[in-house]
Structure 1
Amino acid sequence: MSGAMGKAFADLSNGLGLSHVWVHQAYHAISAKYKRTVLGSLWISGAMVASSVSMAIVFGGIFGQDLKVALPLIMAGLLTYAMIVFPLSEGPEAFVGNSTIIVNHAYPFTYFIFEAVCRSFFIFLHNLVVFYIMMAFIGSIAVPHWTILPGLMLAFTSMITWSTVTAMFAARFRDVRFMLPFLSSLFLVLTPIFWQPSMLSGWRLALVHYNPLYGLLEVIRMPLLGQMPPTEAWIIASITTVLGLVAWLVFFPANRRRIPFWV
């Protein structure tokens, strides 16, 4: 196992060493998708803005919240959720979607994970610009809290480790490719994006206390709104990240060499 562990960390190191390649490829994949369109990359944020405004109007009315309160929470929640749910939504395709390259070229396997996560981060940054434009428009703009930096570090670590695991399982068991995106849609409702934890009581609080995405959501969303995330969010985010590291250390070294045969 020590040899397999060494090769796994060598793969990780080689993948990081190709950062100039996967950063360029991630940017190119996004820009090429909207080539020759009138609005270009504005289409990326269009759905988020439309969904956020619609949800803020509906759920704000249901829960008696002012639009200036509901819209920042929902919009910050949606743009954050789209990134942190990556291991369930797009992560399963990281190896299967690059099967031709994996079979014919000796790229480190972590390269494909880094490229996919980088692409998700670029979309997050794009949406973030639109988010602050909207906040300025409604007069609710806030300076990001400094805790967004450790929050992003936890999110990136969790995305990389868990995406590696889900990509391997999706390559080995093809039904996982369809099951995990379904779970990402399910967690969209179960995670406090359109509602707040204070609105729940009794056994329903388990949706917060045992939700692995809740912590990662709050340690990024709350700083975007200029607030300090609650202690519980840090604990849950840390547990999710540590479990991801453990899962990576268990599954990636043991199965790394099998990936080309699975894809």
Structure 2
Amino acid sequence: MQATSTLDRPSAPAESSSRSWRKAFKDITEGLSQRQLWAHLGWQDIKQRYRRSVLGPLWITIGMGVTAAGLGIMYSTIFGQDPSEYVPYMTTGFMIWYFIQGCLTAGTEVFIRNEGLIKQLPAPITVHVLRTVWREFLLFLHNLVVYLAILAIFLPPVNWTLVLMVPGLALLLFNGGWVIMLLGVASTRFRDIPPVVTSFMQLLFFMSPIVWPIELLEQNAGPRAALAQINPIYHFVEILRAPMLGEPIAWHHWYVVIGFTVGGWLLALLVLRNYRARVAYWV
């Protein structure tokens, strides 16, 4: 059989054949159906990161535990907070932030890093998005062990609101999909996006109520504290952190997140329809 060189391939897919809603939705459905593939690849990403390590992925949990103990005690003293209340607040904030950060940073390189697989493996590009979301979810589960330890040590007032952690986490995962899709496609076309996103991550972290309590901002900033509502990270953190801590639910966080979910996926579907077939030529 005569091998076909990549030079013999057309430089770009035909517009009429590649841009269709049917193929966009087919890419998603086929990607979801190949669960064994992206689940295996996501788990292998974690194993590869800790290859030849004695403790392996357990280092994820240890790192989160050290962060919770060290920074929790230090920042509770700086902010004048009760450690029994602040440590669970900060720990859950870090857990959610690590997932969001992972989706943003890994999303910019999801197709670039998988150039070989995209060009050699005939699979939907959604597979690589699901692989990344699954990997970040597994990392979140590793950190969840620290949360259970926090419950045992500090005994925060967890109540029936804990069940809202399930839809909160589901929304977080669902939003991770469109964020990775958009950033992945955009970054394959414009290679300046990954360093730009990385540069803004630290600023985004300090602008979000991860280590600083939102109550302190409201006490010290007065009406200017309303500016925190502009930060979407704040709402994504709160829909999961409030149930985990057994705190009352501020329903406007859910409305904002659902709005971002609908708008984000509509934009992601549009990008998938128009540029799905071009990803293999851009990487």
Superposition pairs of residues 35-114 of structure 1, within 5 angstroms: 35-114=51-130
- Over alpha carbons, which structure has the higher Rg? 2
1:240 matched to which residue of 2?
A: 260
Q: What's the TM-score once normalised by structure 2's chain length?
A: 0.86
Q: Using a 3 Å threshold, how does the CA distance of structure 1 residues 106 and 15 change in structure 2: closer, same or farther?
A: same
- Choose from 196, 204, 208 the match for 2:228: 208
Please report the RMSD computed on the Cα atoms of aligned residues, expressed in angstroms. 2.0
1:121 matched to which residue of 2?
A: 137
Superposition pairs of residues 1-263 of structure 1, within 5 angstroms: 4-140=20-156, 142=158, 145-200=162-217, 201-202=221-222, 204-263=224-283
Q: Using a 3 Å threshold, how does the CA distance of structure 1 residues 243 and 205 change in structure 2: closer, same or farther?
A: farther
Preserved contact between residue 142 and residue 226 of structure 1 (Cα < 8 Å) = yes
- Report the AA paired with residue 147 of structure 2: F
User: What is the aligned residue count?
Assistant: 263
- Separation in 2, partners of 1:206, 1:220: 20
- Report the AA paired with residue 178 of structure 1: P
Shift of the alpha carbon at 1:6? Answer: 1.0
- Report the AA paired with residue 258 of structure 1: R
Preserved contact between residue 190 and residue 207 of structure 1 (Cα < 8 Å) = no
Give the gaps of 5 or more residues in structure 2: 1-15
Preserved contact between residue 32 and residue 127 of structure 2 (Cα < 8 Å) = yes
Q: Using a 3 Å threshold, how does the CA distance of structure 1 residues 66 and 79 change in structure 2: closer, same or farther?
A: same
Bigger mean CA deviation after superposition, 141-150 or 239-248: 141-150
Preserved contact between residue 213 and residue 237 of structure 1 (Cα < 8 Å) = no
- Separation in 2, partners of 1:257, 1:206: 43
- Separation in 1, partners of 2:48, 2:113: 17
Shift of the alpha carbon at 1:257? Answer: 1.0
Flag as ranges the 4+ runs of structure 1 deviating above 4 A: none
Shift of the alpha carbon at 1:191? Answer: 0.8
Bigger mean CA deviation after superposition, 196-205 or 7-16: 196-205
Give the gaps of 5 or more residues in structure 1: none
Preserved contact between residue 5 and residue 253 of structure 1 (Cα < 8 Å) = yes
Shift of the alpha carbon at 1:183? Answer: 2.2
